[in-house]
Chains A and B, each alone.
Chain A
Amino acid sequence: EAGVAQSPRYKIIEKRQSVAFWCNPISGHATLYWYQQILGQGPKLLIQFQNNGVVDDSQLPKDRFSAERLKGVDSTLKIQPAKLEDSAVYLCASSLDGRGVAKNIQYFGAGTRLSVL
Chain B
Amino acid sequence: AQKVTQAQTEISVVEKEDVTLDCVYETRDTTYYLFWYKQPPSGELVFLIRRNSFDEQNEISGRYSWNFQKSTSSFNFTITASQVVDSAVYFCALNGVSNAGGTSYGKLTFGQGTILTVHP
Binding site for B on A (CB under 8 A): 3-4, 31, 33, 40-45, 48, 56, 89, 91, 93, 95, 99-111, 113
Known pairs A102-B31, A102-B105; A109 contacts B44 (CB<8 A): yes
Contact between A102 and B106, CB atoms less than 8 A apart: yes
CB contacts (< 8 Å) of B50 on chain A: these are: 103, 105
Shortest beta-carbon distance from A55 to chain B in Å: 8
A107 with B47: CB separation less than 8 A = yes
Contacts of A99 in B (CB 8 A): 104
Indicate whether A106 sits within 8 Å of B44 (C-beta atoms), given known contacts A41-B113, A101-B97: no
Interface of A is mostly: loop
> Are the CB atoms of B44 and A111 closer together than 8 Å?
yes
Choose among B44, B105, B106, B113 the residue with the greatest number of A CB atoms under 10 Å from its CB.
Answer: B106
Q: Which 9 A-B pairs have the closest CB atoms?
A: A42-B110, A108-B45, A102-B95, A110-B44, A102-B97, A110-B43, A102-B106, A100-B106, A111-B43
**Nearest CB of chain A from residue B55's CB, rounded to whole Å:** 11
- Indicate if the CB atoms of A42 and B93 lie closer than 8 Å: yes
Number of interface residues of B (CB under 8 A): 28
Question: CB-CB < 8 A to A43: which residues of B?
Answer: 45, 91, 108, 110
B-side residues, CB < 8 A to A, are 4, 31-33, 35, 37, 42-47, 50, 52, 91, 93, 95-97, 104-108, 110-113
Q: Which of B31, B93, B105 contacts A100 (CB 8 A)?
A: B105
Complex-state Cα separation, A104 to B104, whole angstroms: 11
Pick from B33, B45, B97, B113: contact of A91, CB under 8 Å: B45
Residues of A near B43 (CB, < 8 A) are 89, 110-111, 113
A95: nearest residue on chain B (CB-CB)?
Answer: B106
18 A-B pairs with CB atoms under 8 Å apart are: A33-B108, A40-B112, A42-B4, A42-B110, A42-B111, A44-B110, A45-B108, A48-B106, A93-B45, A101-B106, A102-B95, A102-B96, A102-B97, A102-B105, A103-B33, A105-B47, A111-B44, A113-B43
